[in-house]
Amino acid sequence: MRDDGIAVTAVLGLPGFEVLAVSEYGGELEQAVQTTAEQGWCPGCGVQARLHDRRPSWVRDLPAAGRPVMLVWVKRVWRCMEPRCATRTWTERSPAIRPRAGVDRAGPGRGVSAGR
């Protein structure tokens, strides 16, 4: 990670994550984040995986300085390189954010919080 983002990442308070960008969108503070993992391993066979794609996942976070905050977790999608493995691709997970904590940006029910 670049030195200029260390303070912002520390304020985020999510171990294993780093802040990519911070912006304002629709009156909310948006923080684009990703995990610090540089490689992935297949959960099916244990072979080192290859990065296949990245997909954003919006997660409601706690307010900061009285402003609503939305995390945009840029999740990595990994691919198993073992041809005999039944696991082809999977999306990374983190114990810091509960599964399916994402928010539907098009819908009105955006009150889902991160699992911390």
pLDDT in tens, 69-101: 889 999 999 999 999 999 999 999 988 887 766
Q: Where are the beta strands (DSSP E) in the chain?
A: 17-25, 28-35, 50-64, 67-79, 89-91
DSSP readout, 29-52? EEEEEEE-----B-TTT-PBPEEE
Has residue 102 been placed in a domain?
Answer: no
> How many domains in the chain?
1
d(CA 9, CA 34): 10
- Per-residue model confidence (pLDDT) at position 32: 92
Q: Is residue 16 part of a domain?
A: yes
Does 26 reside within a domain? yes
User: Tell me: the pLDDT tens digits for 34-66?
Assistant: 998 889 999 999 999 999 999 999 988 878 778
Q: 69: which strand partners?
A: 29, 61
114 inside domain: no
Written as six digits, the tokens of 60 are 């409601």
Owning domain of residue 69: 3-91
